[in-house]
Amino acid sequence: MRFLSTRRRHPAAKPLALVLALFVMGGLYAALAPATQSNADTTGQAQIAQGKDLFELNCSSCHGLNGEGTPEAPSLIGVGAASVDFQMETGRMPMARPGAQAPAKKTLYSAEEISAIAAYVASLGTGPAIPSEDQYSGTGLDAKAIARGGELFRANCSACHNFEGGGGALPNGKYAPPLTQTSDKHIYEAIRTGPQQMPVFSKGVLTDQDVKEIVGYLNTLHDSPNGGFDLGGLGPVGEGLWGWVIGLGGVLLIITWIASRGARAR
Q: Which stretch binds ligand HEC (CB under 6 A): 9-17, 18-26, 87-95, 250-258?
A: 87-95
Query: In the complex with ligand HEC, which residue's Cβ is closer, 17 or 111?
Result: 111
Q: What distance lies between CA 71 and its chain's CA centroid?
A: 31
Residue 183 near residue 230, CB atoms below 8 Å: yes
Chosen residue from 24, 77, 145, 198 binding ligand HEC by CB under 6 A: 198
Of the candidates 49, 51, 76, 79, the one whose C-alpha atom is nearest the C-alpha of residue 62 is: 76
Residue-by-residue DSSP string for 108-136: -S-HHHHHHHHHHHHHHS--PPPPPHHHH
Query: In the complex with ligand HEC, which residue's Cβ is closer, 41 or 53?
Result: 53
The reply on whether position 221 binds ligand HEC by CB under 6 A is: no
The reply on whether position 84 binds ligand HEC by CB under 6 A is: yes
Site string for ligand HEC, 138-157 (x = CB under 6 A): ------------------xx
CA 12/CA 79 separation, integer angstroms: 59
Residue 13 half-sphere exposure, CB side, CA atoms within 13 Å? 17
The reply on whether position 21 binds ligand HEC by CB under 6 A is: no
The reply on whether position 116 binds ligand HEC by CB under 6 A is: no
Count of residues of this chain found to bind ligand HEC when the rule CB under 6 A is applied? 46
HEC profile of 156-213: HCHHHHCCCCCCEECCCCCEECCCCCCCHHHHHHHHHHCCCCCCCCCCCCCCHHHHHH
CA 100/CA 142 separation, integer angstroms: 40
Q: Which stretch binds ligand HEC (CB under 6 A): 5-13, 193-201, 219-227, 233-241?
A: 193-201
| Smallest separation, CB 223 to ligand HEC (Å) | 13
Residue 250 half-sphere exposure, CB side, CA atoms within 13 Å? 16
| Smallest separation, CB 241 to ligand HEC (Å) | 21
The reply on whether position 72 binds ligand HEC by CB under 6 A is: yes
| Smallest separation, CB 120 to ligand HEC (Å) | 9
Give the DSSP H or E segment for 24: helix 2-40
The reply on whether position 20 binds ligand HEC by CB under 6 A is: no
Residues that bind ligand HEC (CB under 6 A): 58-59, 61-63, 72-74, 76, 79, 83-84, 87-88, 90, 92-95, 101-102, 104, 117, 156-157, 159-161, 170, 174, 176-177, 179, 182, 186-187, 190-191, 193, 195-199, 201, 214
